[in-house]
Structure 1
Amino acid sequence: MGEGRGSVGSTSVITMILLFMFVFHPNLIHAETFTVGDAKGWSFGVQNWPTGKTFKAGDTLVFNYVPPMHNVVKVNETNFNSCVAQPLSGSVIFKSGADKITLVKGSNFFLCGVGTHCGAGMKIAVNAK
């Protein structure tokens, strides 16, 4: 008998926790994952890849590429426009070849910091609502 009541109580607690997460963290429910460059991956000429897509804060961008040929650097708008691979404060240069980066609300700027790759179109600007 005691077992039955305990399991019902546990189920209720889990249900309440899940409900709380859905109500107070809606981005977790609706977050999407996008592969930058689609099947082509993170490569030259991807600067127009975000066009026509809608992004939200909490969405994840996956950057697939061959390291060390490329990398991903999250930069500010000034460095994006001038192709300066200076990472944002607290950010790192991503080098795994399968980097997963969560978008923050507002403007998100990424570029390849290897050689002149950024100037060859290996950069994207993504606005997350």
Structure 2
Amino acid sequence: MEMKSMSTAAVLVAVVLASTVLQSTDAANYTVGDTTGWRVPPSGGNSDFYDEWADNKNFFVGDILEFNFTTNIHNVAEVTEAAYDRCNGTNPISIHSTGPASITLNRTGEYHFICTVLGHCTGGQKLSVDVQSGPGTNSTPGSTPNGGSSSSASSPVAAVSVAITSVALVLLC
């Protein structure tokens, strides 16, 4: 009887672990500027480059912004809206000087990012995003909102997790 109890416990632990690993999340990872990365926008002086990059995306709590930049050439600072508008990086909320930098969007509302290297922000190296509390109703299950690459499991994997849990419960009862 003790052996059956231990094997039942082992199966239960395996099911719980499998379910935890296979659960889906809706978080998305975004590479700021895509292949351009985080730098003074390309030639042509497009000071709206990062605004245009963000325009077709919806950002949600839990999403991650990946700022790809060369250490000692750029940085990324979160600043207030007033500091963003003036390109003033003297009193940032936070600053990341080592690239690449991953920033998790952990609250709703506006986030404002600039490069504090002289002339970079005024040259267009600045980004403002508005973060919402949850994915919109137009998202399909297993998809990421508006083009972010997902670090999450897909819907079929979540379905397999439910199936494994169901089979294990039948076997244990």
Counterpart position of 2:129: 126
Structure 1 counterpart SS, 2:54? coil
Cα deviation for residue 9 of structure 1 reads 3.0
Counterpart position of 1:61: 65
Deviations 1:48-71 (A, max 9, x none): 221111111110000001121110
For 2:121, the aligned partner's letter is: C
Counterpart position of 1:95: 97
Counterpart position of 2:165: none
Q: Is residue 51 of structure 1 aligned with residue 55 of structure 2?
A: yes
Give the TM-score normalised by structure 1: 0.81
For 1:62, the aligned partner's letter is: E
Q: How far apart, in 1, do the equivalents of 2:67 and 2:118 lie?
A: 18
Counterpart position of 2:8: 5
Q: How far apart, in 2, do the equivalents of 1:6 and 1:53 lie?
A: 45
Q: How far apart, in 2, do the equivalents of 1:59 and 1:118 lie?
A: 24
Highest RCO, 1 vs 2 (Cα 8 Å, sep ≥ 6): 2
Q: How far apart, in 1, do the equivalents of 2:61 and 2:25 lie?
A: 12
For 1:115, the aligned partner's letter is: L
The ranges of structure 1 where at least 4 consecutive aligned residues each deviate by more than 3 angstroms after the TM superposition are 11-16
Cα deviation for residue 13 of structure 1 reads 4.5
Cα deviation for residue 75 of structure 1 reads 0.5
For 1:29, the aligned partner's letter is: T
Deviations 1:88-117 (A, max 9, x none): 1xx3x2011100001131101000000011
For structure 2, the residue ranges without an aligned partner over 5 or more in a row are 42-48, 133-173
Structure 2 counterpart SS, 1:67? coil
Structure 2 counterpart SS, 1:118? coil
CA RMSD of aligned residues (A): 2.0
For 2:26, the aligned partner's letter is: H
Percent identity between the aligned chains? 34
For 2:99, the aligned partner's letter is: G
Q: How far apart, in 1, do the equivalents of 2:122 and 2:16 lie?
A: 54
Q: Bigger radius of gyration, 1 or 2?
A: 2
